[in-house]
A and B are shown apart, each in its own frame.
Chain A
């Protein structure tokens, strides 16, 4: 029983939930107040993209779906929408290891920026698909560009955190 509990506690998915809760705290406070060019930085999208870039598509999708579901609980869009969008973002970012064999920090940052931009565009598109129209405007490209730029700058800081969070096990 205790071994099971220790395994559960040391599992990457438990760590993911805890780390994502802290990041979401920053998302709803600090990043909500600081809006360069009127656009909010999206650290949850950044996390999903980093997970995909480091650990590939499968881990990226699962991480994106889980943190997306948590993010959905503080958003006003239908529950589950951000989950699918962040899952897709993790999947897109997960394509990066297939194309680049020996990656450096800067091309990972670029991959994170591209995946973040696509993920940010997917948000209004997904909203339109479930009938919440009106958000598919030219502005989404500006938003995507700013989010990509911010995430490219933040990626070198978050990549080690994501690597530690999603490490297979911390014991044994």
Chain B
């Protein structure tokens, strides 16, 4: 069977910024709804892990032979994101990894590459995860329109839930939206010019060419999944393409997430698949320096994926950011005074030696007596046996809170920090409980691990790097 989508997952950050708060801060028009905002300890790497964990669910991870990460907001200019995510996911050592980046089409480019690898017989199961955390200049339209999310797809040729019936792509050169090497914020040229001469010209050309190539009309599709820079452009373009806005258009999620860059189209795809019925045909259109278009057909296998955490799971699990100032702090746009605590120390060799526990979140179980250890240990605490341990992955298991404190002194941009001893798979360890208001913390509360950036490690002489580790969050079933 030809390659297609065999699983999906998505992630939307817990915190949301209401657009009316942004409008209030700048005394401008704000737009409707809210945008999803990655927390201060999240970046595209941690978001990619979240979506991939949801996509993999109960999948046997030893069967993944490629992993492609897609983002335009890597935390590293030089150093592979995919390798960090692959270790966090505990993918096999021989999983081929690659980063797709440089354009908002990198998510669909990764999808195309994954399909090609499976169709060519070079790989059997390719995981992709796309994530972006773009920021617009304060007071700009881009600030209002962007949001953060991630989406992950598993590509294979067995038990295909979404078949690929057609594909079209073209490239195009125009300076419309961009970030140079040194830019923090997304820039754009004058909006009527870039919508008309960039976005709309390309999308109309691509959709027309695709329909012509496959001899199809808009009426042949259940749904259009369409990238657009903003809600107004989305609505006018969908109508211009002759798709019925009431029945045939996937909600672009602007009012609940926002434009999440390279993850945006795939996030909409996941949202569409959650609602899709076997037999549905989808048209997915992505834009940036050209267009990627996919014709997708949903199969009976989709029913087996209903337990996946996609977009809908996350939409009601949220907390509004208390103010626009807090948003500026969370995204690192303005520096804020914090508790004056000692500098944290971690050097690359130590992070590397301990990477199996830090990045893959594995504990050791003593083969003789079963005692669990995290942090790692050469000698069993209970029976004193040396080097007789099995590594146990904790990252995909739920745990419970043994005891906790509400800590204002522990270094956090968002105090107080709920610090707990949790028990996961009989392993007790210390973690921060994130996304947890102090008043909901309690003994025996059920939590699950979440991958986060802890701090900037390194030295002033050599330079700094990002120390990633796991926290836990309360499990909220909706």
Pair from one complex: no
